[in-house]
Amino acid sequence: MKLGIIDYGMGNLGSVTNACRFLGLPAEVITAPATLDECTAVILPGVGAFGDCMAHLRDHAFVEPLQAWIADDRPFLGICLGLQVLFAGSEESPGVPGLGVFPEQIRRFRLPPAYKVPHIGWSRVHAVQPDCPLFDGIPPDTYFYFVHSYCAAPGLAHTAGVTTYGTDFTAACQRGRLMAVQFHPEKSQRHGLRMLHNFAHWLQTGATDNGIEDSTRN
């Protein structure tokens, strides 16, 4: 097994790589699309603006290879902006197409005055697809760490987790072997590490691992 962490010139590569290293996962930073075929799965991390992210993906020739990877239902995990670029577009960057895996648009938060934007901090994630392997062994409504100003609507066909911050939004997606989260598992302490562990275990076995000891407790 080999996890390819995509380096397209922006993103939280260090924290994701360090989290994988802590868990003993065979992860490697991928800088060229030609090396994707050496990977069992790819992780697309992201911080920053939607338009900048898509521009960097285009400049590094990752757009079409990633679209082909996902169309072939090969394992994929998007993190934060790596979830948002799966959609058709975003209000953050009008006219800039995303990867177009999902047809909906990413919207800016429209919140009551008491809520600040960006949404920064810990919020509960409610799993709505109980069989999603990412949530295996994670207590219901666990807190994860978020940093974002834009979000996907809740209740989509591919919504796997929902968070409430003044309004409900999609915090996790799953469609086949594609998964993505709006929060940062690599910054979410034990339960975030457990989520990365779950993704790797599912790659190896195609199953969840409720029966084994949680190695993320230390």
- Among this protein's residues, is 80 annotated catalytic? yes
Helical H segments across the chain, by residue range: 13-22, 50-59, 63-71, 81-84, 189-205
Single out the catalytic residue among 39, 132, 186, 191.
186
CA distances from 45 to 25, 69, 95, 198, 207 (A): 16, 16, 22, 17, 24
Q: Measured between alpha carbons, how far is 153 from 56 in angstroms, rounded to an integer? A: 25
CA–CA distance, 46 with 209 (Å, rounded to integer): 28
- Active site annotation includes 184: yes
Of 119, 148, 158, 184, which one is the catalytic site residue?
184
- Tell me phi and psi for residue 65, to 5 degrees: -60, -40
Q: Is 196 helix (H, G, I), strand (E, B) or coil?
A: helix
Phi-psi region of 120 (alpha: psi -120 to 50; beta: other; left: phi over 0): beta
**Which of 53, 80, 151, 173 is an active site residue?**
80
- CA 141, 144, 149, 153 torsion: positive or negative? negative
What is the distance between the alpha carbons of residues 167 and 115, in angstroms, rounded to a whole number? 10
Q: HSE, CB side, 13 Å, CA atoms: give it for residue 149.
A: 11
Return the active site residues: 80, 184, 186
